[in-house]
Structures are given as structure tokens and as C-alpha cells.
Amino acid sequence: MAAYAIRRFLGLIPVLFGVSLLVFTFVHLIPGDPARVMLGQRATPEALKRLREELNLDKPLFLNLAAYRQTGDPTKLFDSQYPAYLGRILRGDLGRSIFSKVSIAEELRARFPATFELTVGAMIVALLVGIPAGILAAIRKNSLFDLLVMTGALVGVSMPIFWLGLLLIYIFAVNLHWLPPSGRLGVGVSFHPITGLVVLDSLLERRFDVLADALRHLVLPSLALGSIPAAVIARMMRSAMLEVLSQDYVRTARAKGLPERVVIWKHALKNAMLPVITIVGLWFGTLLTGAILTETIFNWPGIGKWLYEAIQSRDYPIVQGGTLFIAGIYVVVNALVDLSYGLLDPRIQYR
Amino acid sequence: MVKAAQTPTQQALRRFLRSSSGRAGLVIVGLFVLLALLAPLLAPYNPAKDRDLRARLKPPTVEHPMGTDELGRDILIRVWHGARISLRVGVVAVSLALAAGTLLGLVAGFFGGWVDTLISWLIDIMLAFPSILLAIAIVAVIGPGIGNAMLAVGAVQVPVFARLARSMVLSLKEQEFVAAARALGASNPRILLRHVLPNGLSPLIVQATLSIATAILDAAGLGFLGLGAQPPAPEWGVMIARGFQYFSTAPWISLFPGLAIMLAVLGFNLLGDGLRDALDPRAARS
């Protein structure tokens, strides 16, 4: 298991290397001078010159053949832009925003808790809806309830998430005034977070007014973001449950007279949960990195909304750094999900 | 009397027509395609000239069954013509992805060695990005617009088809009919395209149908963010975004284009499920 884990993580290195190559090349694919692309049309010549030097833009992109030929020193081959870029990101330096000049790494750290909190909220919605719906649909296969769940699941995966978000805002915020339409905390709520996870921090500081406000803000975006995974989990749960219920050990459990309740909730559910847990893990990675539309609609101050705004304002260093960060998280979470199979299912042997 | 044996095609057709999701999907997609094709004949429309400021923000009535938007444009005719855009985006994007991905996967699986290592590496890199983010990044480089959105939405689907085609070749290339073709002197491209590909087409067709659904959703998302089709084009995502500004007073502007997206995507998802029942009877029968 440990050997497999090490191999799995070593296998990430070529992928992450490729990701960094792609993200680096991306800015150079935009037509025009990268320094001007990054600084905009009204940049002063001095600023352009400084950025060119900072990013080594006067040097070749990948391999410095000219310097190698002149000096004969093979290390000069890597006196070029990409190796310098790679060196910076390995030190954790993702550059600075063109407009606000903030450090991108620091900004990512500050915004990540908001995205994480929304992801957890959405996952809770997905589990609370998807798992019971899937189990009940499997138990009552071909009933009206089953039909409703399966139809609902299909509609759920077919709905554009930004449109669902708008509907939720319209119904619950604009019309019924039950919940706030956007943001993370109400205006005028003064609160100094410790970890950045507002729900957790308000509990730590015993600020239950803040907790209630934070949870109220979390409901609608979590419902919107959780809709698709809820539908996927319900379908998965149903088919996994149906498969387990047809197995011999379930028949044995029934034959020895166990009540149906025990057969389903104790014997069958444990085995049926395995494939579902995989899906849950993969969706966690997807939601953590893919909440651009939801965060934008609900004005949620996370990474997705920040990236979208950076794309709108052509703040390319943010797009570059943010994309790299997201791809890195995504790859690592997927590897962890992969490894968790072995912990959950002793039948799986890694070699 | 002996009943004539059914050909595999007839069997598949029978399984497809027995599948209720297949039938429902066929009806929805068929209606959607028909309406898209007939739109310019039955209701010619020029989005640049269409405005009637006296009829702004009117709720649904008999005259305007889906209401009007902030420029007094009839939502119904715009949703109807939007079907043409979404259908084209879905079909073109997925055709590109299907062609490129299948080719990459076939080559990787058939030749193996460093070719396979390289292509698999590229696939893994693309799969390291959440698809909507990758599509947004591609559009950020090549610029917004409906054509570029098609390319971006297609590009993110390439690794899906490449993986599928690769595993298909790996399972087929050791079979006897491939060895027989080679013994008869068939060239590699001929073996791949005439012998391997036709035998592994079913999962690719199923995936292509489901991918059209994803492509329509992604393209609408790009349109909504202002990175896809541009106003005044009656693209559904664009219409929802415009309606966003008025939606506390005129929710119908965003409501109907969203319903249209949902129905179209649902249709292709159902059709894909039905095709899977018909073409791949062993997979996912519960």
C-alpha cells in the first residue's frame, strides 16, 4: 500500500510538469508581446522594460541554444524563460496581479477557505439528497417513487447550474425573502476570522449570530452547486444497492430471518457504499475546482469568481497562477481518492 | 414455419425501441432538430433588427407566449432560433472531439511504446483541468465568439474520446480477425480504420451522444459568462445572462431559455442512455 502510494504520487510529477508547461505556454500563445499583454495598452516603456527583465522575456522560451554555443557550458542551455518560471513556482511564487499588485499565492490562500466551505456545503446537500433517494429507489424498484427519483436525477444533471442558481435566488431571496441572494456574510456583520472558514471560526469564537448568518448565506449556493452531484450520487447509489441486494449473502441474511430493516441498512448498505464513496471523492475534487459559475452568480468570494474576474479584466498572471493552483489541487485530490479505495475495501490489493 | 433470424442491427433497433429512455430521447431530440431546421422557413428572424421598445418587458401573453425582453423582442422566437445555435455547437464540437480523440486513441493503443506514452501523457495533462476551466482558458487565449467557443467546448472532450478509443484498441488488437487481416497483407491504417474501428464503434457513439449534452451545457455556460456567442445572437446562455439584470421584475426572460437548455440536454442524455441499452446490452443494465 505504501509502495503503491509512493508510486501514485511519483506518477503525478510528469502530469504536473506538463500542466506547468501548458499554463506557461498559454500566455505566450496570446498574440502580441507578453509584457504588453500582461500590462495592457497604456503601460509605460519603463514598466514594460522592468517586466521583460523580471520575466526574462528577452531570453528564449525553453532552451538557450545560443548561450550554450557561445560558452560551451551545458548549464547555460537552461538560462531561459521556462526553467526560471518553474523555479519560481517551485518556491511558491506565483507572481503578482497586474492591477492590484497583490501576491497571487497569498490571494489564493485567502480565498481558498471560501471555496472549500462552499464545496463542503454542496457535498452535504448532495449526500443528504442523493444517498437516501438512491437507497429508497432501489428498495422500491419500479415504484412511482423510483420513477420520480430517476426522472429527477436526469433532470438534475441536465439543468444548467447558473440557471438553477438564478431560479433559487428568484424564489427564495427575491420573492420569499427567506434567504440572502448573494455574498458570504451580511453587510454590517463585523467578524475577524481565524482560519477563514467562517462557519468553523464563528463556532470557535462562540459567535452564534455570525454562524447563523453564514449558514443562511451558504444554503442557496450549496443547493445550486450540489444539484448535479446529488443526481449522480442518487443514480449510483440505486444501481449499487440493486446489485448488492441480488447477492447471495443478502439472501442468506433474509433466510435466517433478519428483519428487512437490518438486512438493508446493516448488511447491504456497507457494500453498496463503496462505489458511491469513489464518486463522492471525485466530485469533491470537481466542485473544489469547478465552482466558477456558481461563485460568480452568488457573488461568493472564492477562487472561481476571482479567476472569472481576472479573465474579464485580462489579468493574465492571475489566470496563469490560479489555473495552475486549481489543476494541482484537482490532480492531488484525485490521487487521494484513488488511494482511499484500498483503505475502505480490504479486498483491493495494490502491487 | 421458421422465423427469419434477426441481424444484429435489427436486434439493436428492437432493444432501442424497447428502452423507454431511448424512445423519450428520440422524440425530444427529433423535435429539437426538426424545429431548428424549420425555423428559418417558418419564422425568418433577424436578431440585429428585432426590437420594439413599446413592448418592453411584457410578461407572457397570447401574443408573446414567453413574454418580451428589455428591447421588446419576443422571447419565443429567440428561444426557437437559439435551438439552431445550440444544436450546431453541440454537433460541431463533438464531431471535432470525436475525430481528434478517436484518432489519438487509436494511434496510442495500436502502436504502443513511446507513442502511447506521449499521447497518454497529453491526455492526463488535459484531464488535470476541470473541463469548464479549460474551456474558459482556451477562449481567453483565442478570444470570445461562437466559433471559438465551439473549438473550446470540443477540445475539452478530446481526452474523453481518446481514452475510450485507446482502451477499445487495446482489447481488440490481439483478436484473431486482426491477425488474419495482417496475414492477408493489410496495411496498418487499413487494419485500424476498416477492421478495428468498426468493431469498437458502439461505445464511441454512446459517448458522442452524451457529449453533445455536455457540449450544449458548456457552450451555454460560456455564453452566459460573455465568452461564447455575442449579443444580439439569440443564444440561450447569452439570453439568460441578459435576463439576469431584469430578473427580479421580468424572470421570464431567463426562465424560458433555461428550460430550453434543460430540455435539449435532457433529450441527448436520454438518447445516449437508450443507445447504450441498444448497442452495449451488457453494460449498466439495472
| Percent of chain B at pLDDT exceeding 90 | 31
Give me the residue from A160, A289, A326 closest to B221, CB to CB. Answer: A160
Looking at beta carbons, which residues of chain B come within 8 Å of A293?
132, 221, 224-225
Mean pLDDT (chain B, rounded): 85
Name the percent of chain B in helix, strand, coil, to the closest 5.
Answer: 70, 0, 25
Cβ atoms of residues B132 and B221 within 8 Å: yes
Residue B18 lies in a domain: no
Instruction: Answer whether residue B54 shows pLDDT above 60.
Output: yes
Residue B17 lies in a domain: no
Instruction: Answer whether residue B100 shows pLDDT above 60.
Output: yes
Residue B206 lies in a domain: yes
Q: Would you state the pLDDT for residue B285? A: 43
Residue B196 lies in a domain: yes
Cβ atoms of residues B133 and A307 within 8 Å: yes
Q: How confident is the model at residue B62 (pLDDT cuts 50, 70, 90)?
A: confident
Looking at beta carbons, which residues of chain A come within 8 Å of B217?
158, 160
Distance between CA atoms of residues B194 and B33, nearest Å: 31
Specify the CATH number for the domain of residue B197: 1.10.3720.10
152-191 in chain A: CB under 8 A from chain B = 154-155, 157-163, 166-167, 170, 174
Residue B25 lies in a domain: no
The residue segments making up the domain with residue B228 are 73-281
The mean pLDDT of A26-44, rounded to a whole number, is: 72
Q: Would you state the pLDDT for residue B77? A: 81
Q: Would you state the pLDDT for residue B232? A: 83
- Suggest the residue from A12, A13, A146, A166 to mutate for an interface test with chain B (most B CBs closer than 10 A): A166
Instruction: Answer whether residue A49 shows pLDDT above 50.
Output: yes
Q: Which residue of A has its CA nearest to B256?
A: A163
Q: Would you state the pLDDT for residue A47? A: 79
Residue B34 lies in a domain: no
Instruction: Answer whether residue A349 shows pLDDT above 70.
Output: no
Instruction: Answer whether residue A326 shows pLDDT above 50.
Output: yes
Q: B120 CB contacts (<8 Å, ≥6 apart)?
A: B108, B166
Q: Please give, rounded to a whole number of angstroms, the shortest distance from the CA of B155 to a CA of chain A.
A: 14
DSSP state of B71: T
| Percent of chain B at pLDDT exceeding 70 | 95
Q: Please give, rounded to a whole number of angstroms, the shortest distance from the CA of A286 to a CA of chain B.
A: 7
Q: How many domains does chain B have?
A: 1
ipTM metric: 0.84
Instruction: Answer whether residue A192 shows pLDDT above 90.
Output: no
Q: Which residue of B has its CA nearest to A159?
A: B262
Q: Would you state the pLDDT for residue B284? A: 47
Residue B50 lies in a domain: no
Residue B22 lies in a domain: no
Q: Would you state the pLDDT for residue A179? A: 81
Phi/psi class of residue B149: alpha, beta or left (left: φ > 0; alpha: ψ in -120 to 50)? alpha
Cβ atoms of residues A265 and A324 within 8 Å: no
